[in-house]
Amino acid sequence: MAKPALGRGLGALLGGNAPVVKPPAPASNNPSPAAPAAAVAVAATVIDPRERVQKVPLARIRPCAFQPRKDFPPESLRELADSIREQGIIQPLIVRTVGDHLELIAGERRWRASQLLNLAEVPVIVRDADDRAVLELALIENLQRENLNPIEEAAGYAELVEKFKLKQEEVAQKVGKSRTVVANALRLLKLPTPVQAFIRDGRLSVGHAKVILGLATEKDQKSAAERVLKEGLNVRQTEQLVLKLANRAAGVVASPTKAPLVVTDTHVADLESKLRETFGTKVQLRYADGKGSVDISFYSDAELERILQLLGISNS
């Protein structure tokens, strides 16, 4: 399947990989008659100034407030700095002019690594871009490189939704993701700050987080997350824990005689996993000889409303 096209922000800002145009040689006091003025005029028209790589003082460049990536591991920056020391900066930074300084659009890791090396100048390409285009490009660049942790990714989507009034479908189209992926990412921001921190540093997976979101209160969500980490629970074990906590909160006593269904068919298990990913909650698929059922669990009215929306069903 062809990969969905990314947002227009990337192509519009980065353009193609145009060759760096060398500056013309200084004019001679005795210009050659073999170089007519018409040829010089044609040469001037084919040079796109937006593609010109120029060296600027590192001190003129400032980070961008719209940069979705917040975590820059020191070890990774040191490795990049070592590479720049040996090879130089291969890919210019993309910047825009803001007042008397230049603001980063893309290339903050290279900028930070250059600071470690105390470089005087760095190569840049200057672009014209508004705030929304800058955020789109920063998101796309990081998503392509898989540099963002899930919380940073979700925060970037949220900024497009809240600051620029985009719908989830529009955000998904711009960054080349499905609406479901964007919707599930945004739900992570509903978790308590400590739980988001667990996801940000990789201690808690997105799969765990989606299950924990089934709990109605922040207190229960935080308690479940801490227990998952303490006991090293996998996603399926977390589902059982969340179900138990949700039943306890609702005053429901679980039946001790009802054994959980064990899915043995690998194809069924894979499909069940995809359903669980789509709905962001526990999904149980029973299948045999072309017949069966799909059980979608929810643990609150809000959770039910969300699932109905994913199914395209209006509750009004």
Query: Is residue 214 within 8 Å of 300, Cβ to Cβ?
Result: yes
Query: Is residue 296 within 8 Å of 311, Cβ to Cβ?
Result: no
Question: In this structure, which amino acid lies at residue 102?
Answer: L
Lowest mean pLDDT among 43-52, 90-99, 212-221, 238-247: 43-52
The secondary structure element, H or E, covering residue 291 is: strand 291-296
The secondary structure element, H or E, covering residue 209 is: helix 206-212
Handedness of CA 293, 294, 299, 300 (dihedral sign): negative
Angle, alpha carbons 62-69-212 (nearest 5°): 155
pLDDT of 251: 67
Lowest mean pLDDT among 133-142, 153-162, 224-233: 133-142
User: Which residue among 79, 86, 103, 108 is the active-site one?
Assistant: 108
Q: What is the mean pLDDT of residues 240-263?
A: 64
Q: Which has the higher per-residue pLDDT, 51 or 31?
A: 51
Query: Is residue 109 within 8 Å of 81, Cβ to Cβ?
Result: no
**Please, which pLDDT band fits residue 260 given cuts at 50, 70 and 90?**
very low
Q: What is the mean pLDDT of residues 113-131?
A: 91
CA dist., res. 80 & res. 72, Å (int): 11
Query: Is residue 68 within 8 Å of 155, Cβ to Cβ?
Result: yes
Enumerate the β-bridge partners of residue 285: 294
User: In the predicted model, is pLDDT for residue 46 greater than 50?
Assistant: no
CA dist., res. 137 & res. 108, Å (int): 13
**Please, which pLDDT band fits residue 145 given cuts at 50, 70 and 90?**
low
**Please, which pLDDT band fits residue 18 given cuts at 50, 70 and 90?**
very low
User: In the predicted model, is pLDDT for residue 2 greater than 70?
Assistant: no
Enumerate the β-bridge partners of residue 95: 104, 126
Q: What is the mean pLDDT of residues 155-172?
A: 85
Question: For the chain, what is the mean pLDDT?
Answer: 77
Task: Indicate if 277 belongs to the active site.
Answer: no
Where b means 16+ CB within 10 Å and e means fewer, 14-44 reads beeeeeeeeeeeeeeeeeeeeeeeeeeeeee
What predicted TM-score, i.e. pTM, was given to this entire model? 0.54
CA dist., res. 219 & res. 198, Å (int): 15
Q: What is the mean pLDDT of residues 100-114?
A: 90
Instruction: Tell me the C-alpha to C-alpha distance, in Å, between residue 220 and each of 199, 225, 240.
Output: 17, 8, 14
